[in-house]
């Protein structure tokens, strides 16, 4: 029994033509194909660390902000202790300097007050003596003779002594004031240094809390609990739950008017109705070989221009899903 190959070839050819026609129909002068892409997040630190806590394993689902690991820097702890001891010593020195200045000020205040009181007492004694003499003379002579020249000279000497002492002690107080100003500047500098050290210490310790940058799944874990990890080694790799970009290719022969910041509509080829939107963020003028999935004929090598599209990560596309990219007409 002979089999006519026409009965097999013709339907196969028709099916192929229908596939190609459908593929062509799905595109227009404003559309081309691409795939939903994502970039795995590789988490690492730039210092040698020790793994204190490990909260995930390969395949774990994580949410943005989850603490996936807690690390420690034992050198940081030693430096922190050394720095604190140094600051405590400096603080003790400053307290000692402050007490010395306060003591000197109190001594000067006591000295000047004692001298001024002594001068005032001498002036009052002179005035009392002069008053008695003047009263006696007025009784004898019948009139007020006025302040005696001797009294005037002695009172003037005492007043000049008082002014001179006040000047001397004012200069001494001014010297203490300068030292106190310098002391306050030193205290302010130490406090600022302490604040900066605390901020730096806090920032360094916050870096030791490894958190998930986005929702996703843990693909790799390259560390173990209670073990050291070298600086710059990849610790954990997290693949985001949703794609946030699309890589498309415009066939070499196609003339598609594409510009940076153009808005596009995105739709799944295999699941019509699953849609999103995006914005073109780059368009290469160079021709590169197109991926197999985006060729019209897989067996035929083809070249095209690569176009990158940003889209919200709230989309429902699968990672790697083939999409139809349509530029919105202006």
Q: Which of the listed CATH numbers 3.90.110.10, 3.30.70.60, 3.20.20.60, 2.40.50.100 matches domain 49-73+208-239?
A: 2.40.50.100
CA R_g for the chain: 46
Fold of the 28-39+242-327 domain: Elongation Factor Tu (Ef-tu); domain 3 (2.40.30)
Q: Mark the ranges of the chain whose per-residue pLDDT is less than 50.
A: 1-2, 17, 19-26
What is the CB neighbour count within 10 angstroms for residue 216? 21
Backbone angles phi, psi at 284, to 5 degrees: -85, 140
pLDDT of residue 23: 47
> What's residue 288's pLDDT?
96
State the DSSP code for 293: G
User: Residues of 173-190 as b/e, b for ≥16 C-beta within 10 angstroms?
Assistant: eeeeeeebeebeeeeeee
pLDDT of 277: 96
Strands 61-62 and 275-289, by their bridges, are unpaired
φ, ψ for residue 87, nearest 5 deg: -65, -40
pTM across the whole model:
0.51
Q: Which residues, in sequence order, are CB contacts of 110 under 8 Å at separation 6+? A: none
Q: How far apart are CA 251 and CA 138, in angstroms?
A: 131
Task: State pLDDT tens for residues 48-100.
Answer: 888 989 999 999 999 999 999 998 886 555 555 556 656 666 666 767 777 88
For tokens 């690569």, the residue is 306
């Amino acid at each position: 029994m002979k089999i006519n190959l026409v009965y097999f070839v013709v339907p196969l050819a028709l099916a192929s033509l229908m596939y190609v026609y459908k593929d062509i129909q799905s595109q227009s002068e404003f559309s081309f194909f691409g795939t939903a892409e994502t970039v795995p997040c590789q988490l690492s630190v730039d210092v040698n660390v020790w793994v204190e806590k490990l909260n995930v394993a390969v395949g774990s689902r994580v949410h943005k902000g989850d603490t996936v690991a807690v690390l420690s820097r034992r050198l940081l702890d030693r430096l922190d202790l050394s720095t604190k001891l140094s600051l405590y010593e400096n603080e003790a020195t400053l307290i000692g300097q402050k007490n010395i200045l306060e003591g000197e000020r109190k001594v000067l205040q006591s000295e000047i007050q004692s001298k001024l009181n002594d001068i005032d007492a001498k002036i009052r004694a002179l005035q009392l003596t002069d008053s008695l003499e003047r009263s006696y003379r007025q009784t004898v002579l019948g009139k007020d003779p006025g302040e005696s020249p001797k009294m005037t000279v002695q009172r003037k000497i005492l007043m000049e002594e008082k002014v001179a002492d006040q000047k001397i002690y004012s200069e001494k107080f001014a010297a203490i004031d300068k030292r106190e100003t310098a002391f306050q500047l030193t205290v302010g500098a130490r406090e600022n240094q302490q604040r900066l050290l605390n901020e730096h210490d806090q920032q360094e310790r916050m870096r030791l809390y490894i958190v998930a940058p986005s929702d996703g799944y843990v693909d790799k874990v390259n560390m173990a609990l209670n073990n050291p990890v070298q600086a710059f080694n990849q610790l954990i790799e997290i693949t985001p739950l949703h794609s946030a970009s699309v890589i498309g290719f415009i066939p070499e022969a196609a003339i598609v008017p594409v510009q940076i910041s153009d808005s596009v509509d995105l739709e799944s080829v295999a699941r019509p109705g699953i849609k999103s939107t995006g914005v073109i963020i780059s368009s290469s003028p160079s021709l590169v070989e197109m991926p197999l999935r985006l060729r019209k004929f897989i067996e035929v090598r083809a070249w095209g221009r690569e176009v990158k599209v940003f889209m919200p990560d709230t989309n429902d596309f699968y990672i790697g899903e083939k999409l139809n990219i349509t530029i919105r007409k202006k």
